[in-house]
Chains A and B, each alone.
Chain A
């Protein structure tokens, strides 16, 4: 398996534009997580899915953020409209259903909003 695949690796956009980040989890994994990493706040869990269903989105900062998982092999995180404070590295991770197994992370998307 190629691991968790995120695209794009880098995104630069202007304030007010819509941004869509994409993630392909490892095949067979039941859980998918979206994290945001910044210098100030560290690694924050935004939302996670179990079998394509959102379970906990309490970490989503505000209504400008939305996430979907239309099928087991694809998820998106959308920011509309984007703001400079959304600049961060966004990670997707996936994990199988067994609790003692680790989460596998993608390489991340570095988002810069100017």
Chain B
């Protein structure tokens, strides 16, 4: 079984500031990890994913995330926030043993102040 915890249901940053959204997971087998973004009145779209290989993965819109096995974390970062980054962000996990259950965290709403 797997689970995902996103610390902070709301995060507020100033435009140009660092964005850090936290995600911790638990999984009985090595996981595949995903970050999705949801803009208002839209479906979820993939930002980035970790499967194997390099633990620092880059996604769209300047976001990146680092898989840290020892910390069971997959935090999402962006060096400089833009107003257009305001959205809800979801971390998700699926086991890599051919299971296909995608388990989502509770989401973090990012607000960007001018």
Contact = CB atoms under 8 A, between A and B. Distances in A.
The A interface is mostly helix, strand or loop, or mixed, namely strand
Contact of B100 (A42, A95, A104, A110): A95
Given A43-B90, A99-B96, A102-B34, A56 B101 contact: yes
A50 B99 CA distance: 11
Interface in B26-76: 32, 34, 36, 41-46, 49, 51-52
Contacts of A108: 42-43
Interface residues of B, number: 26
Given A99-B98, A99-B99, A43 B104 contact: yes
B95 A99 contact: yes
A103 interface: yes
A46 B104 CA distance: 13
Given A50-B100, A56-B101, 19 more contacts: A33-B102, A42-B104, A42-B106, A42-B107, A45-B101, A45-B102, A45-B103, A93-B102, A95-B100, A95-B102, A97-B100, A99-B99, A100-B32, A102-B34, A103-B102, A104-B46, A107-B42, A108-B42, A110-B41
